[in-house]
Amino acid sequence: MKSIVMYALSTCPWCRKARKFFSDRNVPFECIEYDLADPATQEAIGREMDSLGATGFPVVRIGDEVISGYDPDRFARALGE
């Protein structure tokens, strides 16, 4: 199973949809909510997002693939569905 890490905002409807996508499939993932994280974590996430060219939330890393935004078709392909 590929590891999945998601950067999200606690108030973002697209982030909620992304979390639901993985939860509905019983796919384990780690979700880090940027707006609820401490300042050091926010800074690290910001640097990583800049290096990936991500401009909004959610940002989902499935294995080596990074998907910016809510894109269930790409999520499914990255999972091998």
Please report, for the domain that includes residue 52, its CATH number: 3.40.30.10
Q: What is the pLDDT of residue 53?
A: 87
**How much is the mean pLDDT over the chain?**
94
DSSP annotation string for 5-65: EEEE-TT-HHHHHHHHHHHHTT---EEEEGGGS-HHHHHHHHHHHHHHT--SS-EEEETTE
Assess whether pLDDT exceeds 80 at residue 1: no
Q: pLDDT per residue over 61-76, tens digit each?
A: 999 899 999 999 999 9
Q: How many residues does the chain have?
A: 81
Q: What is the pLDDT of residue 2?
A: 83
Domain count, the chain: 1
Domain ranges, residue 56: 4-79
**Can you tell me the distance from the alpha carbon of 3 to that of 15, in angstroms, rounded to the nearest whole number?**
18
